Amino acid sequence: MSVKGQRGPRLRADVQRNRAALLEAAQRHFLRFGVGTSLEAVAKEAGVGPGTLYRHFPTREALLAAVLQTRSEELMARRAEIAQLGDASRALRHWLRAMEEYFSAFSGLPEPLMAAARAQEPGNPLTLPCDLLITTTEEYVRAAQLAGHARASVTGYDLFLAAVSVAWIKGTGATDEESLDRLRALVESGYRERENPA
Amino acid sequence: MSVKGQRGPRLRADVQRNRAALLEAAQRHFLRFGVGTSLEAVAKEAGVGPGTLYRHFPTREALLAAVLQTRSEELMARRAEIAQLGDASRALRHWLRAMEEYFSAFSGLPEPLMAAARAQEPGNPLTLPCDLLITTTEEYVRAAQLAGHARASVTGYDLFLAAVSVAWIKGTGATDEESLDRLRALVESGYRERENPA
DNA sequence: ACCTGTCGCGGAGGCAGCCTCCGTTTCACT
DNA sequence: AGTGAAACGGAGGCTGCCTCCGCGACAGGT
């Protein structure tokens, strides 16, 4: 009732404004202080009270998922590009790198992502994007296997874990880029087929 | 002065008692709740006030390092056993597995360990054991390389990172043992020399 | 333009954990 | 037993989490 042609309940102006301000403030704080940053500080910077923050985003994960939305879409765009590559081996490598960058968006991001990957209860708002990444990785792995570029024993989930691990290591700040490159190379030579099969 | 034959300042009985009680309580809590457990709860269980805990162990890391002391010694014992193996390839594999188990002693242990690996300031009491592990890994890697079982491009630090990563993944609880085994296999086939060199 | 019901706002407040400071107690040595 | 020094421990200040509810602002109708 009381609709002008739009479906669903009318959205109040302050609701939209607050939500946008919260997302922007959250992104800034996640970037600067990592995903563990104080939510009260986020609320304050957004110019709203803590109650408002928690009404919009009941959990830290919900806020995080909303902030990640943009990045997820960017990643899916890259996925489309990568799919055009043709070369299954290169495609897999690029996809893994793209995922790793996604995981490195904020320091401390790998932890909640792994928690979401574990969760069977669909309560966690990060579970959906997480499962999407795993599924996509499986597709790339399968293609690489068919082309003889990846071992049969490797699964998409394995390489998802590897990418998360590298991102985690990166996030600890205990390594320089050289070490990370060697780690990536280690993973790659780990999943690659050794000989060309007959 | 005023010594009965022991060197150094005399240790009061309550000091020793409290320290022992704290270490025991801390180990229990770290085992049950991970390294992030409430230090106040540890103090309470040990039957001392928070002030006493913080006097004995000024930081969480200091307490952790003290609790890990026993495990470090066990690991060094295994190191001695492993060194007897003769086969450099097997030795490296066993050592990596032993390190991984050490890292998995408590949930959440990898984080402070990586922070200690990063730290240049010697303030962190975990830095010393951490550096020891890295150095030891480098020895095993060098031996394996000389025997033609490991690629020249791999460093001890890389495999240290790999072991920490696997332990971290394990600690998230998002994976079963099968996945972990596949990850370990991935790492191993990543550092192994492909062909036997001439 | 005003009225009105509803929904969102926001801050006070309860809770938990961290860490410190200092009056009190306990110990060891004489 | 007496005494000085060192350790004890808990109160308290601080920060962050999250909830609850009275107040206020917004949208739709008149």
pLDDT digits (tens, 9 = 90+) for A140-162: 999 999 999 999 999 999 999 99
Q: How confident is the model at residue B85 (pLDDT cuts 50, 70, 90)?
A: confident
- Is residue A139 scored above 50 in pLDDT? yes
Domain positions in chain A are 11-58, 68-191
Mean predicted confidence (pLDDT) in B64-86: 96
Using C1' positions and the CA of B49, the closest nucleotide is: D9
Does B35 score more than 80 pLDDT?
yes
Chain B residues in contact with A162 (beta carbon < 8 A): 183, 186
Q: Above 90 in pLDDT, residue A11?
A: no
Instruction: Provide the positions of strand D that have an atom within 7 A of a protein CB.
Output: 6-12, 15-21, 25-29
For nucleic chain D, which protein residues have CB less than 7 Å from any of its atoms? A 2, 4, 10, 12-14, 38-41, 50-51, 54, 58-60; B 12, 14-15, 18, 47-52, 55-56
Q: What is the mean pLDDT of residues B36-56?
A: 98
Residue with tokens 């790492």: B187
In CATH, what class is B68-191?
Answer: mainly alpha
Q: Per residue, what are the HEC states of chain A? A: CCCCCCCCCCCCHHHHHHHHHHHHHHHHHHHHHCCCCCHHHHHHHHCCCHHHHHHHCCCHHHHHHHHHHHHHHHHHHHHHHHHCCCCHHHHHHHHHHHHHHHHCCCCCCHHHHHHHHHCCCCCCCCHHHHHHHHHHHHHHHHHHHHCCCECCCCCHHHHHHHHHHHHHHHHHCCCCHHHHHHHHHHHHHHHECCCCCC
Tell me which chain A residue has its CA closest to the CA of residue B186: A190
pLDDT digits 0-9 by tens, B118-158: 887 778 999 999 999 999 999 999 999 999 999 999 999 99
Q: What is the pLDDT of residue A2?
A: 38
Q: Which CATH architecture has domain A11-58?
A: Orthogonal Bundle (1.10)
What are residue B192's DSSP bridge partners? Answer: B150
Q: For residue B194, what pLDDT is reported?
A: 74
Please write the tens of the pLDDT for every residue from A23-66: 999 999 999 999 999 999 999 999 999 999 999 999 999 999 99
Question: What pLDDT band is residue A197 in, cutting at 50, 70 and 90?
Answer: very low
Residues of chain B contacting A151 with CB distance shorter than 8 Å:
189
pLDDT in tens, B160-195: 999 999 999 999 999 999 999 999 999 999 999 876
| Fold: same for A11-58 and A68-191 | no
pLDDT for A86 equals 87
pLDDT tens for B20-34 read 999 999 999 999 999
**Do A179 and B188 count as a contact with CB atoms less than 8 A apart?**
no
Q: What is the mean pLDDT of residues A79-105?
A: 96
Quote the pLDDT of residue A9.
63
For chain B, say whether A115 makes contact (Cβ under 8 Å). yes
CB proximity A138 to B under 8 Å:
no
Q: How distant is C1' of D19 from CA of B8, in Å?
A: 55
Contacts of A165 in chain B (CB under 8 A): 165-166, 168-169
Lowest mean pLDDT among A27-41, A117-131, B31-45: A117-131
Residues B93 and B157: beta-carbon distance below 8 Å: no
Share of chain B above pLDDT 70, in %: 93
